[in-house]
Chains A and B, each alone.
Chain A
Amino acid sequence: MAGDVTTDPVTLEEAPPPEETSEAAAMAARLAEAGRVKRLNDRTRMIIAYVVLTLFVVIAIGPAFYLISPAFRDSVSLFTYPPEWIPSEPTLENYRFLFSSTSYVRWAINTLVFAGATTLLTLVTNTMAGYAFARLRFPGRNLLFFVILATLMVPVAAVLAPTYLTVTTIGDWPIIGNWIDTDTYLGLILPSAVSPLGVFMMRQFIQTLPDGLYEAARLDGAGEWRIFTKIVLPLIKPALVVLGIFVFMLTWASYLWPLVAATDNEFRVLTVGIASLKGQFVTDWGILAAASLLTIVPVTIVFLFFQKWFVQASMAGALKQ
């Protein structure tokens, strides 16, 4: 053993014998050959991946693109044969009609209020609940959290009737009934202003913050509220943005609850409003397409604008101390 140890460095210092060089060269050539074969394989694989991905892209955004053409044509030219994809006589007539003869603007404002307020309230309730579940010790904590998670399994349609009854019942109460009822903003917003998924997400996120931060803050004299606002909230900003966008987009596109809660045209949101444009016997598809396109664009912009935050949030678990 000792002999091996001492002779090793000596062989290292010697020049490598010539046969070894040629052997090494042969090996390098073989490796390069193998690499080329592998690169070809990679290329084929890449092509397959692109084909599959393209297919998915078409399926995913195809319908949205399909809206663009009819949105700029009059309804008569929609059904010409052979079908034309690029309108020969593009028109903004559909939009003129939307703004002049329907309550589109009103619906848009309602949707903005509905989605905006729901998002804000959800963020407030969910971060606070998430903080409580992550940090505070109280009896029944785990049971309560489990119950909240369990509501994730309940479909929206199943709670539609009870929610509706609750809101109409509150609507019959004096004073408060003026504010919370069907066909009121609060009646529309409040039932959507908490999301079990959001509570779960916030709890998980807050749990990843190091305990040392809370302990340091407590010793620095900070109470729960100050820790929540000064330490926790700034550190979970990425999660707040993600949850915010998520809730905003869901609420913007939600249909069932607004359909039930807002029967008055004054309180209708875009999804319900657009659906009402569909006539019983005749439907102007051009107008429907224009309205839909106009509704999709703002959320798409919001999403694209905040996209980088999604990436950041996915790395937020690696929060540095």
Chain B
Amino acid sequence: MAEVILRQLTKHFGSVEAVEDVTLRIPDGEFLVLLGPSGCGKSTILRLIAGLEDATRGEILIDGELINFKDPTKRNVAMVFQNYALYPHMTVYKNVAFPLETARMAREEVAEAVQRAAEMLEIEALLKRLPEQLSGGQRQRVALARAIVRQPLVFLMDEPLSNLDAQLRLQTRLELMGLHERLGITTIYVTHDQVEAMTMGQRIAVMQDGRIQQMGDPTEVYDAPANTFVATFLGAPPMNLVSGSLERDNGQVSFRFEGYELAVDPATSGIAPDTLDEAVGEAQLGVRPEHLTLASPDAEGLPGVVRFLEPVGSDLFVSVNVAGHAVQVRMPPDTQVSTGSNVRLAFDPARSHIFGADSQNLRS
């Protein structure tokens, strides 16, 4: 168990900036998720911590010890790879025992530790099999067993669920959470799946282009996205964004787009008056689908026409055309609405976000 600190960690591959100036503190026992699209540098951070890549700049500390120049064999971190990287010629037992045998542990102790890990992951029955005789889910468990068997300081997981089918992924997700709860080992988990990130992470670091865009607990990141990237990356369907401008008229700031005007009140929008004044100019308005409601055409709100209906059982997603913008609205499944009908969209200004010209949320 250990605390992991990254200080201004930077990694360049030639002219490609894979990781840029990342500073993070991961307290002992935390489950941190690095979330971002492919190529955002999240896996590179894991590989830097593991020692599979050398940092261009910056420091990596585990329990206060600088490990930048420590050989990966001596860092005592375990990694679960996306493709599991099981040794194909070794039985499951041998695979799990490998790190212990490498550490020259006595044979009885190895057997005991392997047995314990196998029990925890329910793979006792598979110990004599070869990896090629296992299903994807079973391989995943063996990879996890190999990682936990030597009780590492830090767990690194590189998209460990992405090769599993949807149902198995759901189940393994819960098991991973249970495992973390039981072992309490500091875990850094990389994924591009926002649902995984939201459900598993105690904290989420959202990454783009090698930089951390926002860091916080899942609800914080979801409810108060720092910028348009985070706002649209988290949430399915993503937050609705419309481009327009913030304008000031007689001391009142309002957001205008396509001939519509919405008053922005510092009190309800949660934006500091100074910030609002400074942001006058290009801007984007963002509202999550669940914070929009459909109202009858004669009610208050933005007028629009229903284009598509997507019932998903628990919800009904309604795509509404508002002045040329496709806006997604989440409604209860029993909502009576048909395509082509005129509607009005209403929302609570307190749950809307305004992003300035630099794409940053004015509220933060």
Contact = CB atoms under 8 A, between A and B. Distances in A.
A221 B102 contact: yes
B270 interface: no
Given A218-B52, A220-B146, A321 B102 contact: no
B271 to A, nearest CB: 47
B131 A219 contact: no
B81 A215 contact: yes
A215 B72 CA distance: 9
B347 interface: no
Contacts of B98: 217, 220, 222, 230
B81 A216 contact: yes
A200 B72 CA distance: 29
A223 B89 contact: no
A220 B99 contact: yes
Q: By CB atoms of chain A within 10 A, which of B50, B84, B87 has the most?
A: B87
Contacts of B150: 220-221
A212 B89 contact: no
Given A220-B146, A226-B102, A231 B72 contact: no
A320 B133 CA distance: 11
Q: How large is the interface on A (under 10, 10 to 19, 20 to 34, 35 or more residues)?
A: 20 to 34
Interface in A160-189: none
Interface string B109-140: 00000000000000000000001100000000
Interface in A215-263: 215-223, 226, 230-231, 234-235
Contacts, number: 64
Contacts of A319: 88
A210 interface: yes
Given A226-B102, A320-B132, A321-B131, A219 B79 contact: yes
Contacts of B146: 216, 220
A213 interface: yes
A272 B324 CA distance: 91
Contacts of A217: 87, 98
A321 B89 contact: no
A219 B89 contact: no
Contacts of A235: 88-89
Contact of B85 (A210, A226, A320): A210
A219 B158 CA distance: 14
Contacts of A213: 85, 87
Interface string B200-236: 0000000000000000000000000000000000000
A234 B90 CA distance: 9
B50 A219 contact: yes
Contact of A215 (B52, B86, B99): B52
A212 B88 contact: no
Contacts of A226: 102
A215 B81 CA distance: 9
A231 B101 CA distance: 13
B103 A216 contact: no
Interface in B77-95: 77-79, 81, 83-89
Given A220-B99, A223-B73, A321 B83 contact: yes
Q: By CB atoms of chain A within 10 A, which of B51, B73, B81 has the most?
A: B73
Nearest to A223: B73
Nearest to A218: B72
A178 to B, nearest CB: 40
A202 B261 CA distance: 71
Contacts of B102: 220-222, 226
Contacts of A222: 73, 98, 102
Contact of A216 (B74, B75, B85, B89): B85
Interface in B17-74: 50-52, 72-74
B86 A219 contact: no
Contact of B99 (A210, A221, A321): A221
B103 A221 contact: yes
A145 B131 CA distance: 34
A38 to B, nearest CB: 40
A221 B73 contact: yes
A8 to B, nearest CB: 23
Contacts of A219: 50-52, 72-73, 75, 77-79
Contact of B88 (A215, A220, A221, A321): A321
Q: Which 6 residue pairs of A and B lie closest in terms of their CB atoms, listed nearest first? A: A212-B85, A220-B99, A216-B85, A221-B102, A234-B89, A221-B73
Interface of A: 210, 212-213, 215-223, 226, 230-231, 234-235, 319-321
Given A216-B79, A321-B131, 13 more contacts: A212-B81, A213-B85, A215-B52, A215-B79, A216-B87, A217-B87, A219-B75, A219-B79, A220-B99, A222-B98, A235-B89, A321-B86, A321-B88
9 contacts: A212-B83, A215-B81, A218-B52, A219-B75, A219-B79, A221-B99, A222-B98, A231-B87, A320-B132
